[in-house]
Structure 1
């Protein structure tokens, strides 16, 4: 219980600090730049979390991992706090994104997914972020994000999981298969899409023969060379 509570307190602190940072930026009087984000979908054990951290460091942008996004989405109060950090223009843009998503994906009528779309949308509206998992690449319009799918062969993923969690080969394989099944089911249920279909992404990267630094370099090149659409201009 103490461990759970301490994790919960830590998560609340992380979220609170992020909201304060956003609020400070919102108060600054300058024209908003285009603020694209990177979304990461991944096969379990592919090294996506390490890669996400590398991207965040290289590009000097915020990192929102699966645990942070999940924690915010599960709390109605916290998710509304995140949305409230947006200014009027960005809230209007967020409403447009949600409406378009509902029309395109025929969202499962679920309170959790509504909070999730608001949270991911709010993060994207603030911009300059890497978002890992929770269907973020399926929630946001393609004009504002670089959508990644990170993969690796099963033997590489098993090795990674064995090392990370100190488990046997069989335990690692079972963990991977269970997690992969759950992730595919989540994307299919809520977004009526195939997690592993490469056409759902801008870039699919096999990490088997790349270090995190090398993989991040490839992604950085794609991120920096792509022309980005200034979504805020639609509201002017």
Structure 2
């Protein structure tokens, strides 16, 4: 697999080329995909990206974009001046109106996710993207599965015991809930925050991907 920094560099170059060519942003809503740990959300996202030809941004890529000042600046500057100004105004207004946690981490994260949203043609996994992008530019998906099924999937994927898998699932679930609660004052599991909720306890990865593709189309 490519290193994360290489993936980001290639993505930024593509966006820079589009900016210079003044290409129109893709009109398809950005798909945000939230998932319970062990539910298979990442493979579902990959399957959707492959089907629709979307750029895939998982939490590792988003974190790398947002946590490095030089990288986040380059990402945001792939927009033209009007786009950068719109993102900055929108982020400031969103933080103020929704009384969000006003720290630099959230500011940069929202700008990076907002930049991806402006470019379009993407699916974003995690990082509270469904709480960040405005309604007109997003399609929000939540992937769930029964706890025992998630534990078994993690145990099989990582070659660990059921007990170790359960600890991983519960710890990751707690961390994600805390992140969304802290920064967005919301319950990550509330179905009202999503346009589609899919259960991979009963749906295969491909069936879930097909449902998302049909929904966003």
Alignment of 1:19-58 (within 5 A): 19-58=12-51
Gaps of 5+ in 1: 1-6, 225-236
> Which residue number in structure 1 is paired with residue 137 of structure 2?
144
- Residues 1-236 of structure 1: matches in 2 within 5 Å? 10-224=3-217
Aligned partner of residue 44 in structure 1, secondary structure: coil
Structural RMSD (CA): 1.6
Displacement of 1:87 after TM fit? 1.2
- Cα distance, 1:31 vs structure 2: 4.5
Q: Is the 8 A contact 1:40 1:132 kept in 2?
A: yes
Residues 10 and 32 (structure 1), Cα distance of their counterparts in 2 relative to 1, 3 Å cut: closer
Q: How many residues of Structure 1 are paired with residues of Structure 2 in the alignment?
A: 217
TM-score relative to the length of structure 2: 0.95
Q: How many angstroms apart in 1 are the aligned matches of 2:119 and 2:102?
A: 26
Q: Assess if the C-alpha contact under 8 Å between 1:40 and 1:150 holds in 2.
A: yes
Structure 1 runs (4+) deviating above 6 angstroms are: none
Distance in 1 (alpha carbons) for counterparts of 2:214 and 2:4:
32
Secondary structure at the aligned position of 2:3 is classed as helix
Q: Distance in 1 between matches of 2:182 and 2:58?
A: 21
TM-score under structure 1 length normalisation: 0.87
Counterpart-to-counterpart distance in 1, 2:169 and 2:149: 11
Unaligned runs of 5+ in 2: none
**TM-superposed deviation, 1:86:** 0.6
